[in-house]
A and B are shown apart, each in its own frame.
Chain A
Amino acid sequence: MTFFMQILISGLVVGAVYALVAFGFVLIYKSSDVINFAQGEFLLVGAYIALSLVVFYQVPFPAAVALTLSMCVILGVVVERLVLRPFIGERVISVIMATIGLSLLMRGIIQMVWGTETRTFPGIFPDMPVRLGDVVVSQIYLWSLAVAVVLLVVFTVFFKYSSTGIVMRAAADDQVAALSMGISVKRIIAITWAIAAVVAAIGGILLGNINGVNPSLAYIGLMVLPVVILGGLDSVPGAVVGGFIIGILESLAGGYLDPLIGGGVKEVAPFAVLLLVLMVRPYGLFGKEIIERV
């Protein structure tokens, strides 16, 4: 039971990070129909900037996070303006190639600047593990989970009730109508990219504090695919639920199945889910079912 709980909690933490990154992915998809393959690189950039600020510039952690997130806002807006905007109205495949190109470019720059070895944050969260009954959990896990859950709640409330959130939903629903209401859709898309970059960066900072940072963390950009396919490409709650499910599933597969057959299930399980969902329910748990009448 204790083993199960340990696995469950680490699954929840990983799932929370997936949920954050997938959240940004879905926002971008909803507002502009762009599949962003560079979401994992946004996570990396955020993690590295925060790490550099803390380690090299000795900036206190909270200030470093604030500074990192501001830079990610700028990064998101600039990327949208320079890379995505010229592709408005182009074919889907062109846009996908553009974001893949963007991801490779960003990863190259990241490796040029920060190298490929794993770097670690200095102990920011207390080392003392917390006991929850029989289960021992390190504090960073609990912090990560709390931060991710709070953020997801805040953003959900933001989209439901704030005027900016409502305008963003409207623009995602019908761009032409939004324009005719005097809503600047370009501005909304820029805000979307800023939010996506920020949530990904937060995911990166959390993961970086758990496992250290190295360029392979960008794999989370790919893990987002099973998450959003499961949750539904155009569903924000779907991204959150899907994130947690995939995180826990991955963790369970790693804990119970990997020892039996010598490893590898953990990495494969999410993509097995992806294939299964595509076969059985291609619009995912919460996605809009598109019915084409022929």
Chain B
Amino acid sequence: MAPQLVIDTLTLHFGGVTALSGVYQEVNPGDILAVIGPNGAGKTSLLNCISGLYRPSAGRIVFEDREITNLPPHRRAQLGIGRTFQNIELFKHMTVLENLMLGRHIHMSQGLVSGGFYWGRARREEEVHRRRVEEIIDFLEIESIRHKAVGTLAYGLQKRVELGRALALEPRLLLLDEPMAGMNLEEKEDMARFILDVAEEWGTTLILIEHDMGVVMDISDQVAVLDFGRKIAEGTPEEVQKNPLVVKAYLGKQ
């Protein structure tokens, strides 16, 4: 099986600081890859390089046999790379429904002029998107809040809405930056179930950053471990757990 995403010896400098150093990783279609590592290991930097917010200093990123290293972030979204953020980035003044509809942006065909107002074709198209969005709302069990402004929602729900908006894009690769951070146990279990369902039912490839090792071991197919910008281990959850380098990175020298 050809990998869907190849991160080819990626290096990223900020001034004198090296955030990533020669990171190589392949991700197979439909896999859930967890990226773990201590704080400041470069996990979010890696995600930002994939989604295009950062340009790597060296190395290449190839998505579905196409080099995307120098594409701007909105072009990568159009290619089917969706993401969520560590510090929720929702359109806070808009409703849940509006946020999800904006997730459909890349699928909306009307241009600037014909898309100006909801007439004729644009209106019919809108209905198609609306149906798709309602499916996601059902899937994430957020029916009751669909007309609420997202700024007013509880943190856990905002995380869920952000996942929904990323799903509305129908990404083939979905990047989740700490989807469960700050959640209680029940919310974490819900989120884990959603993530597994996305991978299983939609065949979406997922890369997620997560600190909760229990969750990581439960849901991921592959784990990559970063430490000080270098990849120090990869493998199945069981393999990584036993790797002495990983233990050392997390617990310090024994």
Contacts and interface: CB of A to CB of B under 8 A. Distances in A.
Contact of A182 (B53, B85, B91, B105): B105
A76 to B, nearest CB: 15
B112 interface: yes
Given A167-B102, A170-B102, A176-B53, A181 B165 contact: yes
B89 A176 contact: yes
A167 B52 CA distance: 20
Contacts of B90: 174, 177
Contact of A174 (B52, B89, B122): B89
A158 B116 CA distance: 7
A235 B2 CA distance: 51
Contacts of A53: none
Contact of B94 (A158, A169, A184): A169
A167 B105 contact: yes
Contacts of A166: 98, 101-102
A173 interface: yes
B78 A182 contact: yes
Contact of A177 (B85, B101, B115): B85
A164 interface: yes
B94 A181 contact: no
Interface in A156-199: 158, 161-164, 166-167, 169-170, 173-174, 176-186, 191
Nearest to A181: B105
B169 interface: yes
A141 B253 CA distance: 81
A174 B99 CA distance: 11
A170 B91 contact: yes
Contact of B112 (A164, A176, A179, A181): A164
Interface centre among B73, B166, B169 (most CB of A within 10 A): B73
Contacts of B106: 181-182
B116 A164 contact: yes
Given A163-B122, A173-B91, A181 B102 contact: yes
Contact of A162 (B83, B94, B103, B115): B115
Given A180-B51, A182-B105, A183-B105, A163 B77 contact: no
Interface in B77-119: 77-78, 82-83, 85, 89-94, 98, 101-103, 105-106, 108, 110, 112, 115-118
Contacts of A163: 108, 110, 115-116, 118, 122
Interface residues of B, number: 35
Best-surrounded residue of A173, A177, A178 (most CB of chain B within 10 A): A177
Contacts of A174: 89-92
B74 interface: yes
Interface on chain A toward B: helix, strand, loop, or mixed SS?
Answer: helix
Interface residues of A, number: 23
A5 to B, nearest CB: 37
A73 to B, nearest CB: 12
Nearest to A175: B89
B48 to A, nearest CB: 10
B115 A180 contact: no
B116 A179 contact: no
B77 A180 contact: yes
A181 to B, nearest CB: 5
A180 B73 contact: yes
B91 A162 contact: no
Interface in A32-56: none
A180 B51 CA distance: 7
A192 to B, nearest CB: 13
B30 to A, nearest CB: 22
Given A166-B102, A170-B94, A185-B74, A179 B53 contact: yes
A263 B113 CA distance: 49
Contact of B77 (A173, A182, A186, A191): A182
Contacts of A185: 74
Contacts of B112: 164, 191
Contacts of B103: 181
A173 B85 CA distance: 15
Which 8 A-B pairs rank lowest in CB-CB distance, beginning with the nearest? Answer: A182-B77, A182-B106, A177-B89, A179-B73, A173-B91, A182-B78, A163-B115, A184-B74
25 contacts: A162-B115, A163-B118, A163-B122, A164-B112, A164-B115, A166-B98, A167-B102, A167-B105, A169-B93, A170-B91, A173-B91, A174-B89, A174-B90, A177-B89, A178-B74, A180-B51, A180-B73, A180-B166, A181-B74, A181-B102, A182-B105, A182-B169, A183-B74, A185-B74, A186-B72
Given A181-B77, A183-B105, A186-B72, 15 more contacts: A161-B117, A163-B122, A164-B116, A166-B101, A173-B93, A173-B94, A174-B89, A174-B90, A178-B74, A179-B74, A180-B77, A180-B82, A181-B74, A181-B102, A182-B75
